[in-house]
Structure 1
Amino acid sequence: MPRSELAQRIYLQLEQMGPKERQLAEFLLTHEAELAIYSSADMARLARVSKPVVSRFFKRLGYDSFAEVRQDLRKVQTSGSPLLADQQPADIGTLLANHQAQEARNWQQTLTDLQRLPLDAIAETMCSVRQIKVIGFRNSYPVALHWRQQLLQLRAGVDIVPQPGQTLAEELSQLTEQDLVIMVAMRRRPVNVKRIMQWLGKSPAKCLLITDPSGLEHAIHADWTLTCHQISPGGFASYASAMAVVSLMSNLCQQKLSDDSRVQAIDELFDLMDELEPSLGG
């Protein structure tokens, strides 16, 4: 279960919330450790919703005033880590059911957000640019690495940066309007993500940001933003929707690249070097 009274109230009503309320709810749940120092105006700005949305949201949860919200938050001793959540034991059946239900909600909300975007145009850019640089730190790195691996099956010129022993400045200094940077910036990002995104917003290259609702403050510096929802019944955030978005966008790119000679060449080299286990039945 969530660790604070506020989080418990949010989870009880999460399924009935509209898009803006859910966006605010996910911001609050992923920033619970810092909320006691924020004003209601800060929350509205960081969650990218209006002040009236914040006011209605807390009234919906049963709070008479924002001061009452802060009082609840200050009762909870936190250090910012989701692992400090007060988890109540649950039987395996309940745990599986809770995860299944939450993952379904995460993916449905992610799809709803994606439908507002020009996905064809994004995929076309991913196929046609001269090179793609993929960036991801901490928990975002596995998502970035997987995306690079998927795209590398389809086209050349895809790198994850910075490489060991290199700096971002060395990797990004020569970007042109013919290049694309994919920034994977899921929750609990390093502070330098803000500086990098500000620089990318001024660079000639296109920028595709993939983040969760808590990172939408960086969207102003990106050409496109893919929002992935990460709420989890436990202390660890879910990356299932982020990985699914990587698969979706990679499949869109595959449809647009009619020449499969690169894939065939890679498969032939796999066979020659005997690098992969054989598939079932083959």
Structure 2
Amino acid sequence: MGDSRAKSIEVRIHEHYEQLPDSERKLADAILESPGDLSLYTATELTSLAGVSKAAGTRLFRRLGFASFDEAKLLARETTHWGSPLYMESKAPQHILSVADYLAEETYLLQSSLMRLNPEDVEVVTERIVAARRIYLLGYRNSHFLANYLRWQLLQFRGDVHLLPTGGETMGEYVGDFLEEDLLIVFALRRRPSRLETILKAAKEKGIQILLLTDPTARGLPGLASWTFFTEVETSSILDSAGSALSLSRYLALVSLQKAGVRGKAHMERIELQHEILGEFE
């Protein structure tokens, strides 16, 4: 499979998702629901589970760059950054959620999200966060506060970090100014506005590198990103959890701060000096 071997099955599916015929898309959705389980099935079992023909399965795996289903199965076994995603029924509990149950659920979400991280991707992404000329952070709805949170962490040790869009603004002015040496960080937890895909396509055409932080329900968007980190959000209640995405943001900021070294420390010292001059804190 050459250089394409480094691409997970998830990434390959997202890259082709929009062009998939209905039968292949049904099978792709079944795989995306639990990619780590791919190695547990035979080709017949998998296609039967998705309700499609074996021929549709053969076409999909060939489209994804595999000579056979067995080759895809082998990659699934070798891919260490897949975790078993949490897919619980989205039903509100009939009883009052106890603190113990809430803690157990949040712990599971956090563990399953962070343990699926690919250390090599974290290494490259954090180096990019330090080296990028400008960083733009984008998020809508609940994802907006996550983008703003990460912005404030990055501002502690580097400049030119911008939140998009601010009140009353449109995206065209920013996308038109994107450069290859910049970085766009996009938070896209469900439910995602439909215009987000259009924005990412336009950004990709500008050559800017894109880091996408999303959840396993995303379709297509990961195919537009340079790197994608998945975090679990689905719980046993009707309210999604953003805790794992928030923790991942902090982790990326901490690793990036360490990589910023002397330059990052000097930036922090300049900020603290201005805080004192301006008398901004008690």
What CA distance in whole angstroms lies between the structure 2 residues aligned with 1:255 and 1:127?
Answer: 10
Assess if the C-alpha contact under 8 Å between 1:184 and 1:210 holds in 2.
Answer: yes
Residue 229 to residue 177, structure 1, CA distance change in 2 (3 Å):
same
- Runs of 4+ in structure 1 deviating by more than 6 angstroms, as ranges, are 50-54
1:170-189 alpha-carbon deviations (Å, 9 max, x no partner): 01202111111011100101
Assess if the C-alpha contact under 8 Å between 2:30 and 2:50 holds in 1.
Answer: no
Aligned mate of 2:137, from 124, 134, 137: 134
Match of 1:155 in 2: 158
How far is 1:115 from its partner? 2.8
Assess if the C-alpha contact under 8 Å between 2:146 and 2:246 holds in 1.
Answer: yes
How far is 1:200 from its partner? 2.5
Assess if the C-alpha contact under 8 Å between 1:131 and 1:179 holds in 2.
Answer: yes
Match of 2:278 in 1: 273
Give the gaps of 5 or more residues in structure 1: 1-19, 24-38, 67-83, 278-282
How far is 1:104 from its partner? 1.6
Give the gaps of 5 or more residues in structure 2: 1-7, 11-21, 52-89
Q: Any idea what SS the aligned residue of 1:244 has?
A: helix
Aligned mate of 2:94, from 69, 75, 88: 88
Match of 2:269 in 1: 264
TM-score when normalising by structure 1:
0.68
Match of 2:238 in 1: 235
Residue 111 to residue 51, structure 1, CA distance change in 2 (3 Å):
closer
Residue 238 to residue 120, structure 1, CA distance change in 2 (3 Å):
same
How far is 1:119 from its partner? 0.9
Q: Any idea what SS the aligned residue of 1:135 has?
A: strand
Residue 48 to residue 224, structure 1, CA distance change in 2 (3 Å):
farther
Aligned mate of 1:170, from 157, 173, 177: 173
1:72-125 alpha-carbon deviations (Å, 9 max, x no partner): xxxxxxxxxxxx9444122xxx52122211112111211222136421111011
How far is 1:152 from its partner? 0.8
Q: Which amino acid aligns with 1:89?
A: H
Match of 1:100 in 2: 103
1:21-40 equivalences under 5 Å are none
Match of 2:28 in 1: 45
How many residues of Structure 1 are paired with residues of Structure 2 in the alignment? 219
Q: Any idea what SS the aligned residue of 2:220 has?
A: helix
What CA distance in whole angstroms lies between the structure 2 residues aligned with 1:47 and 1:274?
Answer: 57
How far is 1:44 from its partner? 3.8
What CA distance in whole angstroms lies between the structure 2 residues aligned with 1:148 and 1:46?
Answer: 33
Assess if the C-alpha contact under 8 Å between 1:44 and 1:51 holds in 2.
Answer: no
Q: Which amino acid aligns with 2:130?
A: C
